[in-house]
Structure 1
Amino acid sequence: MPLFQLLRHHMMENRRGLALLALLAGLSNTLVLATINAATEVVGDREELLRFAVLFGIAILVFVIVQHRLMYLVSSNVERTIREYRTGLFETIRGVGLAQVESVSRSELFACISRELRIVGNSVPPLVVAMQAVVLVFCSLIYMAWLSMTAFLLWVSCTVVGMMIHFACAKTIQLQLAEAYVKENELVTHVNDLIDGIKEVKMSQARGAELAEAFGSLAHGLSGHRVTIMMLYSRAFVLSQVTFFLLTGLMVFIVPVLSPTFIKVVVMTTTSSLFLIGPVSSIISALPNFANANASAKSILSLKTRLLALESERFPQSAPFGGFETLRLDHLFYQHRHASGEGGFVVGPINLTVQRGQVVFLTGGNGSGKTTMIRLLTGLYRPDRGAVRLDGGVIDASNLLAYRDLFATVFADNHLFKELYGMGPIDQDYADRLFDILEMGHKSRIEDRRFTNVNLSGGQRKRLALIAALLERKPIYVFDEWAADQDPYFREKFYRTILPMLRAEGVTVIAITHDDKYFDTADIHLHMEDGRLQIVRDAAMPMPALDSVR
Structure 2
Amino acid sequence: MSLLFALVPARSWLVAGAAVVAGLVSGAASAGLIALVNTAIHHARPSRSLLIAGFVGLVTTKVVSQALARLLLNRFTQRTLAELCRDLSRKVLATPLRDLEHVGIPRILATLTDDVAWLGWAAQNVPAVAMTAAVLVGCAMYLGWLSPSTLLAVAFVVVIGMIGYRLLTARAYRSLQRARDTRDVLFHHFRALTEGMKELKLHAPRREAFLSERIATATEDLRQHALAGIRRHLVADTWNQILFYGLLGGLLFAAPAGSGYDTEAVTGYVLAILYMMAPVWGIFEAWPIFARGRIALEKIREVGVSLTAVGDQTPTPWRVEVPHEWRRLDFEGAMFTYQPDLDGNAFALGPLDLTLRRGELVFLTGGNGSGKSTFVKMLTGLYSPQVGTIRLDGLAITDKNRDWYSQLFSAVFSDFYLFDSLLGLSGPDLDARAQRHLVELELDGTLQIRNRTLSTTALSQGQRKRLALLTAFLEDRPIYVFDEWAADQDVHYREIFY
Query: TM-score normalised to the size of structure 1?
Result: 0.57
Distance across 2 between alignment mates of 1:481 and 1:497: 15
Match of 2:31 in 1: 30
Distance apart, 1:306 and its partner CA:
5.9
Tell me, yes or no, if structure 1 residue 280 matches structure 2 residue 277. Answer: yes
Match of 1:506 in 2: none
Distance across 2 between alignment mates of 1:285 and 1:394: 58
Mapping of 1:452-463 within 5 angstroms?
A: 452-463=455-466
Contact 1:26–1:136, Cα closer than 8 Å, also in 2: yes
Q: Give the secondary structure class of the aligned counterpart of 1:466.
A: helix
Match of 1:470 in 2: 473
Q: Alpha carbons of 1:2 and 1:351: their partners in 2 closer, same or farther (altered >3 Å)?
A: closer
Distance apart, 1:446 and its partner CA:
2.0
Match of 1:428 in 2: 431
Contact 2:23–2:135, Cα closer than 8 Å, also in 1: no
Tell me, yes or no, if structure 1 residue 403 matches structure 2 residue 405. Answer: yes
Counterpart residue type for residue 29 of structure 2: S
Match of residue 303, structure 1, among 300, 303, 315: 300
Q: Give the secondary structure class of the aligned counterpart of 1:435.
A: helix
Mapping of 1:198-213 within 5 angstroms?
A: none
Aligned residues: 368
Q: Alpha carbons of 1:346 and 1:416: their partners in 2 closer, same or farther (altered >3 Å)?
A: same
Q: Which has the higher strand share?
A: 1
Distance apart, 1:339 and its partner CA:
8.0
Distance across 2 between alignment mates of 1:476 and 1:314: 20
Match of 2:390 in 1: 388
Distance across 2 between alignment mates of 1:35 and 1:92: 53
Contact 2:389–2:397, Cα closer than 8 Å, also in 1: yes
Distance across 1 between alignment mates of 2:394 and 2:138: 76
Counterpart residue type for residue 449 of structure 1: R
Distance across 1 between alignment mates of 2:340 and 2:75: 43
Contact 1:137–1:279, Cα closer than 8 Å, also in 2: yes
Q: Alpha carbons of 1:5 and 1:326: their partners in 2 closer, same or farther (altered >3 Å)?
A: closer
Match of 2:334 in 1: 332
Counterpart residue type for residue 294 of structure 1: A
Match of 2:171 in 1: none
Distance across 1 between alignment mates of 2:86 and 2:395: 36
Distance across 1 between alignment mates of 2:100 and 2:15: 36
**CA deviation vs aligned residue, 1:442-490 (integer Å, no higher than 9, x gap):** 433222222232233433322221111111112221111122233x2xx
Q: Give the secondary structure class of the aligned counterpart of 2:130.
A: helix
Match of residue 322, structure 1, among 320, 324, 341: 324
Contact 2:28–2:138, Cα closer than 8 Å, also in 1: no
Match of 1:289 in 2: 286
Q: Alpha carbons of 1:21 and 1:394: their partners in 2 closer, same or farther (altered >3 Å)?
A: closer
Q: Alpha carbons of 1:473 and 1:71: their partners in 2 closer, same or farther (altered >3 Å)?
A: same
Match of 1:64 in 2: 63
Match of 1:219 in 2: none
Distance across 2 between alignment mates of 1:329 and 1:277: 75
Distance across 1 between alignment mates of 2:397 and 2:4: 45
Distance apart, 1:110 and its partner CA:
0.9
Distance apart, 1:62 and its partner CA:
0.3
Match of 2:189 in 1: none
Gaps of 5+ in 1: 141-264, 500-550
**CA deviation vs aligned residue, 1:310-351 (integer Å, no higher than 9, x gap):** 9996674433213234334343322122489x7721112333
Distance apart, 1:84 and its partner CA:
4.1
Counterpart residue type for residue 467 of structure 2: L
Distance across 1 between alignment mates of 2:79 and 2:42: 48
Counterpart residue type for residue 374 of structure 2: T
Match of 1:445 in 2: 448
Contact 1:333–1:347, Cα closer than 8 Å, also in 2: yes
Contact 1:331–1:385, Cα closer than 8 Å, also in 2: yes
Match of 1:214 in 2: none
Match of 2:170 in 1: none
Distance across 2 between alignment mates of 1:391 and 1:9: 42
Q: Alpha carbons of 1:9 and 1:385: their partners in 2 closer, same or farther (altered >3 Å)?
A: closer
Contact 1:6–1:297, Cα closer than 8 Å, also in 2: no
Distance across 1 between alignment mates of 2:100 and 2:20: 42
Counterpart residue type for residue 415 of structure 1: Y
Mapping of 1:257-272 within 5 angstroms?
A: none
Distance across 2 between alignment mates of 1:338 and 1:13: 49
Q: Give the secondary structure class of the aligned counterpart of 1:359.
A: coil
Q: Give the secondary structure class of the aligned counterpart of 1:372.
A: helix
Match of 1:492 in 2: 492
Distance across 2 between alignment mates of 1:90 and 1:406: 23
Distance across 1 between alignment mates of 2:398 and 2:130: 52
Structure 1 vs Structure 2: percent identity of aligned residues?
27
Contact 2:431–2:451, Cα closer than 8 Å, also in 1: no
**CA deviation vs aligned residue, 1:121-155 (integer Å, no higher than 9, x gap):** 23224323433453687679xxxxxxxxxxxxxxx
Q: Give the secondary structure class of the aligned counterpart of 2:25.
A: helix
Match of 2:355 in 1: 353
Structure 1 stretch displaced more, 288-297 or 385-394: 385-394
Counterpart residue type for residue 117 of structure 1: L
Distance across 1 between alignment mates of 2:444 and 2:71: 51
Q: Give the secondary structure class of the aligned counterpart of 1:34.
A: helix
User: Could you say which structure has the larger radius of gyration?
Assistant: 1
Contact 1:318–1:398, Cα closer than 8 Å, also in 2: no
**CA deviation vs aligned residue, 1:61-93 (integer Å, no higher than 9, x gap):** 100111122223333444444444433332222
Contact 2:108–2:303, Cα closer than 8 Å, also in 1: no
Q: Give the secondary structure class of the aligned counterpart of 2:68.
A: helix
Q: Give the secondary structure class of the aligned counterpart of 2:469.
A: helix
Q: Alpha carbons of 1:343 and 1:84: their partners in 2 closer, same or farther (altered >3 Å)?
A: farther
Q: Alpha carbons of 1:16 and 1:358: their partners in 2 closer, same or farther (altered >3 Å)?
A: closer
Distance apart, 1:38 and its partner CA:
4.1
Mapping of 1:33-52 within 5 angstroms?
A: 33-39=34-40, 48-52=47-51
Counterpart residue type for residue 373 of structure 1: F
Q: Alpha carbons of 1:28 and 1:399: their partners in 2 closer, same or farther (altered >3 Å)?
A: closer
Q: Give the secondary structure class of the aligned counterpart of 1:116.
A: helix
Counterpart residue type for residue 280 of structure 1: M
Distance across 2 between alignment mates of 1:130 and 1:306: 34
Structure 1 stretch displaced more, 382-391 or 472-481: 382-391
Larger relative contact order (C-alpha < 8 A, sep ≥ 6)? 1
Mapping of 1:101-250 within 5 angstroms?
A: 101-104=100-103, 105-111=107-113, 114-134=116-136
Q: Give the secondary structure class of the aligned counterpart of 2:416.
A: coil
Distance apart, 1:418 and its partner CA:
1.9
Distance apart, 1:370 and its partner CA:
0.4
Match of 1:150 in 2: none
Match of 1:145 in 2: none
Mapping of 1:7-22 within 5 angstroms?
A: 17=18, 20-22=21-23
Q: Alpha carbons of 1:125 and 1:429: their partners in 2 closer, same or farther (altered >3 Å)?
A: closer
Q: Alpha carbons of 1:365 and 1:21: their partners in 2 closer, same or farther (altered >3 Å)?
A: same
Distance across 1 between alignment mates of 2:269 and 2:400: 71
Match of residue 420, structure 2, among 403, 418, 421: 418
Distance apart, 1:405 and its partner CA:
1.5
Distance apart, 1:437 and its partner CA:
2.6
